Amino acid sequence: MKNLVGAALLGQSGGPTSVINASAAGVFVEALKQPNITAVYGAVHGIKGVLHEDFYDMKEETLEELMLLKNTPSSSIGSVRYKMKDPKIDDSEYKRLLEVFKKYNIRYFFYNGGNDSMDTCNKISKFFKKSGYDCNVMGVPKTIDNDLNATDHSPGYASAAKYVATTLMELYHDATVYDTPMVTVVEIMGRNAGWLTAAAALAQAKGQGPDLIYLPEVPFDFDSFFVQVQRILAEKGKVIVAVSEGIKTKDGKYIPELFQELKKDAFGHAQLGGTAQVLAEEIGKRTKAKVRAIEFSLLQRSAAHLASKVDVEEAFNSGKKAVQAAVKGTTDKMVGFKRISSNPYKIKYVLLPLSLAANTEQKVPLNWILPDGKGMTQDFIDYASPLIQGESKAKLVDGLPKFAKLKKVRVKKIV
């Protein structure tokens, strides 16, 4: 553990959230205060920006504009989906990173992302140590999927969960307005972990949500699904279904995969989407009801107008605490949350080994999931409810939100 003097660099990776910029604000604002930090940079498009020596100079931004990031969705410095090779097989990119860090005297590195990002962070930290280069490396968590291991929850989840629950409540009123039979299938993000789809149960608990909820933690059975849909349709004449994009059959096949070949992203993950459409089409073949498929898609992760105050503040604080820990000499850690109590809600910020979060998914406990798509237990409601509390959104100008507009001054490359 060393108290280093040099520049600080933040990179962001993976899917944006409505509060990833709040974490960036926490890192930038805190780093600019620290006497040991000589310069503060933002990597343009994450690790790719580091490899290309492409940085924004955050000292050129005003404090007011940086604070506006707290309520600005997505990543203002740009995110990336880029998988670095395993350094044991090919360490050329790690050598390039080391060259760049040395050139700009970067002694503090913060990487803001999910499982894959924490894995990248961990590999970089280990390579630097092995190379004898002193740099304090810290992970700043984010993911709407809430699947980061070892932390109670992740920044980004609560606001997306609030959007899911609120939108389903609004949708409930529209989807039940007519006197004709109708089935609405809503697709929610979540590849292997169903935390976000589970948030539909918050609307269900208010009596204004879906009738059926399906998570990827439980194998999806077509026959059972259609039996449930037809039963509710016969009882009520209306059915609302919430499904995770990543639900799979017992054979491990995604629903759209049964009908088409799926493309893969840079990490080898199947590019999902279309689950609701496929199910809606199949329901349409089996019933005379009007069927509608709705995909929340990018809206659920960018809806800063519905951000949870708890989420915004925790996201900002996780960035801030990452800097505070790093300047005290901490490295190889990710900021995490330990829940002290749910009522009243109280958490403690903890520093977790990066290796705990790297590539390990935290899934919804099976004992929180009710059988036959009926929803979630009270344990889940008690877990999620405190996270979505409060309101924190951008001030309105001419009736529209005032989001941050950074100057984005590039750092001059050192020759």
Torsion of CA 298, 165, 143, 411, to 10 degrees: 50
List beta partners, residue 43.
55
Helix runs in 15-156, H state only: 20-33, 46-51, 63-68, 92-103, 115-130
H or E element at residue 73: none
Q: Which two tokens stand for residue 220?
A: 């999806």
What amino acid positions are annotated as catalytic residues?
145
**Cα–Cα dist 313/158, whole Å:** 11
Helix (H, G, I), strand (E, B) or coil at 260: coil
- Go through 177-197 and write b for each residue having 16 or more CB atoms within 10 A of its CB, e for each that does not: eeeebbbbbbbbbbbebbbbb
CB atoms within 10 A of CB 270: 16
- Go through 95-132 and write b for each residue having 16 or more CB atoms within 10 A of its CB, e for each that does not: eebbebbeebebbbbbbbbbbbbbbbbbbbbbbbeeee
**Cα–Cα dist 196/204, whole Å:** 14
**Burial class of residue 363, CB neighbours in 10 A (0-12, 13-18, 19+):** middle
* Inter-CA distances, 398 with 67, 71, 249, 306, 395, Å: 20, 17, 49, 19, 10
What string of H, E and C letters represents the secondary structure of 163-187? Answer: HHHHHHHHHHHHHCCCCCCEEEEEE
Helix (H, G, I), strand (E, B) or coil at 346: strand
Nearest to 20 by CA among 58, 76, 61, 62: 76
